[in-house]
Amino acid sequence: MYSQTTHSIQVTVEPTYLDDQSSPDEDHYVWAYSIRIENQGPKIVQLKNRYWHITDARGLIQEVRGPGVIGEQPVLKPGESFEYTSGTPLATPSGIMLGTYEMTTDDGELFDVDVPAFSLDSPFQPRSLH
């Protein structure tokens, strides 16, 4: 599990390799990631946009931008949280993701919240001993 707090917004991520949706023989690996966003601050906030930076084991980078998450732009009062699960495919057995959420307060202040970098590892990733 990975967690980071920015501007009193805590983001916690738990990635899971999806063996049943992956086809290693075809270089197709799929992960789900469950995210919890918790407003630990004193203001009402809304998640407006997301940005993802996904890097596979070969260094290929995908960038994803868009409104909200899973079709929603959740509003969080102080102490409230929002949880969702999404996923990503890669052509390699491992990678790394990180990102940001663009948030706004109820008085119009815009700010970015960091999503911590998290590792995408499958059982097909070669292991090495140092």
Domain residue ranges of the chain, discontinuous segments joined by +: 2-120
Beta-carbon count within 10 A of 118 CB: 22
Using one digit for the tens of pLDDT, what is the confidence trace for 68-122? 999 999 999 999 999 999 999 999 999 999 999 999 999 999 999 999 999 999 9
HSE value, Cβ hemisphere, 13 Å, CA-based, for 96: 9
HSE value, Cβ hemisphere, 13 Å, CA-based, for 128: 1
CATH code of the domain occupying 2-120: 2.60.40.1470
Using one digit for the tens of pLDDT, what is the confidence trace for 24-83? 999 999 999 999 999 999 999 999 999 999 999 999 999 999 999 999 999 999 999 999
pTM of the predicted protein model: 0.92
